[in-house]
Chains A and B, each alone.
Chain A
Amino acid sequence: MGSTRATIQEAARQSMKILVPVKRVVDYNVKVRVKSDGTGVETTGVKMSMNPFDEIAVEEAVRLKEKGVATEIVAISMGVAACAETIRTALAMGADRGILVETDADLQPLAVAKLLRAITEKEGPGLIVMGKQAIDDDMNATGQMLAALLGWAQGTFASKVSIEGDHATVVREVDGGLETVSITLPAIITTDLRLNEPRYASLPNIMKARKKPIETIKPADLGIDPAPRLTVVSVAEPPKRVAGVKVKSVAELVEKLKLEAKVI
């Protein structure tokens, strides 16, 4: 009996598919500007890139495939047609094919999680690896929400992942240091910064990625209404701090902190 179970697990492992959702966001290095009408931030004519945490997710999936743990990597993006470029980046890094859920709707994490659940049910992956947070809305929610909707375990803020049979061991970044958990597969893993250093796609791989397939679907094809639950009332600049004074010496600094700022 034990050997039968081991055989089934081995078979599942040998055909493990990984889904990697990737988000198109304003590039990490762009200084964002709030629109003068207060409706959002300026995104026209701004450089867009893959969310940095999602790059780490793609890299982790590719490494699992290189180790022989995974057999196929599917990159998924959602939003305007240009999100296909983000999928192409994932394909150039080593993902095998892409799915684009094309919509102009303002997609919030709950809708994204529902769309991903529908895709997951069709694709039957053994693992989903995704960024812990998108650097635009900073929600840090979609991975946890997808895990909940699927009834799967979650290993969030991962800094180390190892797959052993039907379990994953995940080292997590927590407030006071690191925590290790064991989670039953299939599961969701969300990536933290130190999990790996994503590779740059080589030119031959970029060329190869052009030939890899991307399937385009609509939210309605998945039977999901992506209507947002949060209305943005306004977007404003945060209060600006004004530069203070330059002091000439350490002695002057300590004196100011004592007598002027009174904080020491």
Chain B
Amino acid sequence: MAEFLQLLISGLAVGMVYALIALGFVVVWKSSSVANLALGQLVLFSSWFTYGMLVQANFPLWLGFPVVILFALLLGWIIERFALRPLIAQPILSLITVTLGVAYFVEGIVTFIWPWSVDALPRLFPIEPFHLGAAVVSQEYVWVAGISLIMFVLLTLFFRYHKMGIAMRATADDQLAVQACGIPVTRIFSRSWMFACVVAAVGGILISSIGGISYGLVETGLKAFSVVILGGLDSFVGAVVAGPIIGLCENLGGGYLTPFLWAGVKDIIPFIIIIIVMLIKPYGLFGEVRIERI
């Protein structure tokens, strides 16, 4: 039972971070129908950048985080402006592969600047474990889950009440109508990329504060795809619901299946979920089923 509780809490926490990263994908997909396959590399890059700020440049936390957020905003703007903007209205194949090119490029930058490939962020959260009945739960997970929850609330408020959030939802709904209302659609695209980079950065910081920074962060970003697929590509609710489900499957499966299967089964569970969802319900739990016409 104690083990179950531990796995439950860590699974929920990690799943919420996946959901956070997945939200970045969904926003870009909804506003500009670009599939951002560079998610993993963005998570990797921003985690290393945080490392650079907090450890190498020795900034205090209150200064380091705003710098990281600013950097993420800039990164999103650059990617949209120079890689995606020239390809507006191109076939989906080009749009997907251009993000792959960006992914490759970002990975090159990361190995260029931080060639040692594994390191740890300084402790962001207190480490004393606390007891929940018989279970010993590391406090980090609770902090991570809490911060993710706060982010969700903030994002919901943003999309519901802020002018830009409403404009982004409108763009997702109908680009032509939005353009007719005088909202610059290209600016919305740009904002959605900036938004995606920021949530990737926050997700990256949260994940790497627990597990350290390594190349595995790319896989973390890719696991966010399983969240997107399970929840439905174009659904915010889907991402928020599917994230914890994936995290739970991953952690509980990793905890209980490893004795029967090979070690490391945990890392592969999200990808197996992708295949299963594809075969059974390809548009996910909350995704809109596209009806095609010739």
State yes or no: do A and B come from one complex.
Answer: no
Give chain A's interface residues, CB within 8 Å of chain B. none
